[in-house]
Structure 1
Amino acid sequence: MTRYVIVGAGAVGVTLAAELHRSGAEVLLVARGGQLAALREGRLRFVRPSGTTTLQIPYAAGPEEVRLTEGDVLVLAVKSQDTERTVGDWAWRPVALADGGQGLAATALPLVTLQNGLDSERIALRRFAQVLGATIWVPAVYVEDGVVVNPAAPLPAALWIGRYPHGDDHPALGPLAEDLRAASFAVQVVPDITAWKTAKLLGNTVNVLDALYPPSPLRDRAAGLLAEEARSVFADAGLPVVDHGERSTLDLAGFTVQELPGYPRFGASTWQSLVRSGSLEADFLNGEVVLQARLAGRTAPANAAVLERIQRAVQEGTPAGSLDDADLAATLPELRAAVPVPAGNNH
């Protein structure tokens, strides 16, 4: 039986580990910090609309505690900003081969990358010969150690997976997809995973707005501005963007987000990071747009401006969702005509 070594016990990692384990798959969850302590103390809770489960899952604190064997699949569920360090930690670990010999994770095992943005797969491929990229839609949240809340029902998440940089014929893809489907995930195997990840990145450009500003018509306008600029940049950079409406074969009609008593609706991943740790993936979201623009010999001023604003918010300890429309209009000059900016506001 394949064992899934899931590295990272945040919202995504716990969702995958919990549902795969529930379906009978062999799982090892690699955690650190407060989540590791919760696993050790038997108090890591996974909250779904169907009920709350206290997880009893095999776990480890890091690669030094894991004996890798041929047939394992490494699943990278850390944030984008942690990819480089984590890939380096695991790539050169020994792997016990079926013939009694010893190999290395970098050459013997497939690595599944679940990160937002476009950088993690390239980082992984520098070391791992077998990289399976994935984009995941999951509303799960982790803002408190020992608790992961996933309000999606009846499906816990939807994934599109494929070999990086391209292809849908890797021998691990079929079994991985089937195991995920058995765990109630919606899964589509695709031959052009970068186009799917670029499409998600268009939506992820608004995560910074979700983290800093409460909902408003002006924020909606700002979201459109960021996505429009990103789409233009991707076109100039020659990056394909898949049309989900035309290409997705998944039936997501029943993929809904429900209200859970006692667990208010929280923001997206950047909001959660701002609340919990201050370590943000924005450099790999809006920052990716800025990078692609510079590589194409142009600029992406709107995405550059909000990237600078959220980094300043981290330095100043700004609470999530506490800034107003005036601050947003000052951050994005294109919006200033829509709202009066108080005198002295020079953000």
Structure 2
Amino acid sequence: MRIIIHGVGAIGGVVAAALLATGQEVIGIARGRMLEAIRDKGLTMISPKGRVTVDLPCVAHPSEITFRDDDIVLLCVKGQDTDAALQDLRAAGMTEQPLFCLQNGVANERVALRYFPNVHGATVMMPATYLEPGEVITHGAPCYGLFMLGRYPGGTDTDDETLKQAFDAANLAALLPASVMDTKYGKLLLNLGNIVDALLPHEADRGRFTGQLKAEAETVFAAAGIPWEEMGLDNPIREQFMKIVDIDGVPRSGSSTRQSITRGAGSVETDYLNGEIAMLGRLHGAPAPLNAAMSALAARLVGAGNGAGGMSEEDLEAVFLAAL
């Protein structure tokens, strides 16, 4: 078995390093400065267990890979990059190999099913960071991260079992829930606060904003008849497998959206998080003006080239009041 990781960022990088440390065959697909750094000095993972550097075979594009029948592909790009990544994989020769969407949001699996028959969801619970090329960080312990795996649109199969075994061996806790999408909708509720984290200073009170976004989304889920599983800190599974812990000299850098802005990535996935709630609300007669406002605000933030943490609580409160 070979595992192909399309998108060696925070999540893809930690997964790659952890798997390689067990002797698993892995090949990465990366771009830009990350690709250059990996080729030059390897991939370094920092965790509560220490620091490890691995030699990750890495290419710039799927066309550089000759696909094998025993490949498993992990899609780790952001939601806004999913369609292009899938088209590249198909053009490069991928056919019926299992594709796991290790991504935030709930839209990626449906898009993938348009191109490939063997699609799986993966709910990712991992406090991972990528800011410096060639270096990834996870603050997860005792396991580096927690993953819920399952076939899309439902059930599980031998591919899920195979990936679970590889992940468990690599200190990446993997579970096979009855419905992986229920857990992904639960994780979506958590990710609605990513843009709030990106907008406000680190010391700000985010809870009063994220709570409103989550409450609005729960109303939308009820109107749409969408079941979801709570994936927050109160979930006992998280307590068992993965807590967020401090690492001496390595501060946490915030949500994936904040990291994207800090790196100057040029785009964020808010349209596939808060924007998903706005779309569902429009489809099911349950307007979600707060989440819609966050999608629009994220677009303006990226378009203007502004950095993270530049908005005050008072300014964000004004945006919320104007949206209602």
TM-score by length of 1: 0.88
Name the CA shift for 1:43/1:217 in 2 (closer, same or farther; >3 Å): closer
Say which of 197, 203, 207 aligns to 1:210.
197
Cα displacement (A) at 1:146: 1.9
Cα displacement (A) at 1:217: 7.2
What do the CA deviations read for 1:185-208 (whole angstroms, capped 9, x no partner)? 111112312111111001111111
Cα displacement (A) at 1:320: 0.7
1:13 aligned partner, one-letter code: G
2:131 is equivalent to residue 132 of structure 1: no
Say which of 206, 230, 253 aligns to 2:240.
253
What do the CA deviations read for 1:38-80 (whole angstroms, capped 9, x no partner)? 1111243211122222221222221121111111111101111
Say which of 162, 176, 181 aligns to 1:175.
162
1:331 aligned partner, one-letter code: V
1:83 aligned partner, one-letter code: T
Instruction: Find the counterpart in structure 2 of residue 190 from structure 1.
Output: 177
Q: Is the 8 A contact 2:42 2:54 kept in 1?
A: yes
Cα displacement (A) at 1:335: 10
Instruction: Find the counterpart in structure 2 of residue 294 from structure 1.
Output: 282
% of aligned pairs identical?
Answer: 38
Q: How many residues align?
A: 322
Larger Rg: 1
Instruction: Find the counterpart in structure 2 of residue 35 from structure 1.
Output: 34
1:59 aligned partner, one-letter code: C
1:41 aligned counterpart, secondary structure = helix
2:55 aligned counterpart, secondary structure = coil
**Deviation larger for 187-196 or 153-162:** 187-196
Instruction: Find the counterpart in structure 1 of residue 227 from structure 2.
Output: 240
Q: Is the 8 A contact 1:131 1:163 kept in 2?
A: yes
1:209 aligned counterpart, secondary structure = helix
Cα displacement (A) at 1:254: 5.5
What do the CA deviations read for 1:148-183 (whole angstroms, capped 9, x no partner)? 111222210000010000111x22111111111111
Q: Which runs of 5+ in 2 are unaligned?
A: none
Cα displacement (A) at 1:14: 0.7
Instruction: Find the counterpart in structure 2 of residue 341 from structure 1.
Output: none
2:20 is equivalent to residue 21 of structure 1: yes
Instruction: Find the counterpart in structure 1 of residue 64 from structure 2.
Output: 65
Q: Is the 8 A contact 1:199 1:243 kept in 2?
A: yes
Instruction: Find the counterpart in structure 1 of residue 99 from structure 2.
Output: 111
2:60 aligned partner, one-letter code: A
1-side partners of 2:239 and 2:44: how far apart?
Answer: 26
Say which of 109, 129, 133 aligns to 1:121.
109
Cα displacement (A) at 1:298: 3.3
1:84 aligned partner, one-letter code: D
**Deviation larger for 80-89 or 49-58:** 49-58
1:56 aligned partner, one-letter code: D
2:269 is equivalent to residue 270 of structure 1: no
2-side partners of 1:251 and 1:199: how far apart?
Answer: 13
CA RMSD of superposed structures (Å): 2.1
1-side partners of 2:259 and 2:275: how far apart?
Answer: 18
Q: Is the 8 A contact 2:17 2:44 kept in 1?
A: no
Q: Which runs of 5+ in 1 are unaligned?
A: 95-104, 337-347
TM-score by length of 2: 0.94
Say which of 129, 134, 153 aligns to 1:141.
129
Instruction: Find the counterpart in structure 2 of residue 76 from structure 1.
Output: 75
Q: Is the 8 A contact 1:163 1:191 kept in 2?
A: no
2:229 aligned counterpart, secondary structure = coil
